[in-house]
Amino acid sequence: MILTTYKNILNWLLTILVGLCFAQAQSIDKYSLSVKGTLDVIDDYYAEGIELNLFRNTTLYSMGYYTGDEYVFFGDQPDEIYRQINILIGKYTDSKNQKFRFQYQAGIGLFWATLRTDEIKQYLFLGNTYFTESVSTVGVPLKIGGRYMPFSFMSIEIDIQANLNSKRSNTRPMLSIEFGNIRSKK
């Protein structure tokens, strides 16, 4: 019930954002689609996602979907699974030669996950099996990063993303490759 309410709210926000983008379509300078990924060896966690970016003057609008899972082979089970949908707005600035871009964004997002509880279901030699709970909440996604744009249609980006929420806040570095109309041709 609560997850459905959150999804409805997010659907309305997405509809409003897409409507605003179409209303200002003449003024959208650039756009891109990026594929992101990370591998956190400290927390035994990997994440991947896809993001749509729209650039207007020095403002950056983004919509993204991310998924993350633990990759523990021997340890506590079952693995925890994270999902999130974000809508972000922020600013960017390009270098003089338009090969590098710095950006920062904040927004609103839906976070849902399957998490282990503290209650142990079964004791095992290499790790315990825990009961799980499904959680969902609204979060505040944050992102700061930079990208190298060797071509007007492609870039490589490194950023740090965070999702601050009441259930399980997380921070992770992300590496992405991006395609679209990213910068002016020079």
pLDDT value of position 170: 85
Sign of torsion over alpha carbons 88, 91, 94, 100: negative
2 vs 22, 58, 134, 136, CA distance in Å?
A: 30, 36, 11, 8
pLDDT tens sequence across 47-61 = 889 999 999 889 999
Would you identify the CATH topology of the domain 2-181?
Porin (2.40.160)
For residue 184, name the pLDDT band (cuts at 50, 70, 90).
confident
What amino acid is encoded at 9 in this protein? I
Contact 171, 164 (CB under 8 A): no
pLDDT value of position 21: 57
- Report percent pLDDT > 70 for the chain: 81
pLDDT value of position 16: 65
For the ranges 10-19, 63-72, 98-107, the one whose mean pLDDT is highest? 98-107
Examine the pLDDT at 20 and tell me if it is beyond 90: no
What are the E-state strand segments in the chain? Answer: 30-40, 45-56, 59-70, 81-94, 100-122, 129-151, 154-164, 170-181
**Lowest-pLDDT range of 35-49, 77-91, 137-151:** 35-49
What amino acid is encoded at 11 in this protein? N
**Lowest-pLDDT range of 7-11, 95-99, 144-148, 170-174:** 7-11
pLDDT value of position 114: 86
For residue 119, name the pLDDT band (cuts at 50, 70, 90).
confident
Tokens representing residue 87 in the block: 């809508």
Contact 145, 175 (CB under 8 A): no
DSSP state of 2: H
CA atoms within 13 Å, Cβ hemisphere of 81: 5
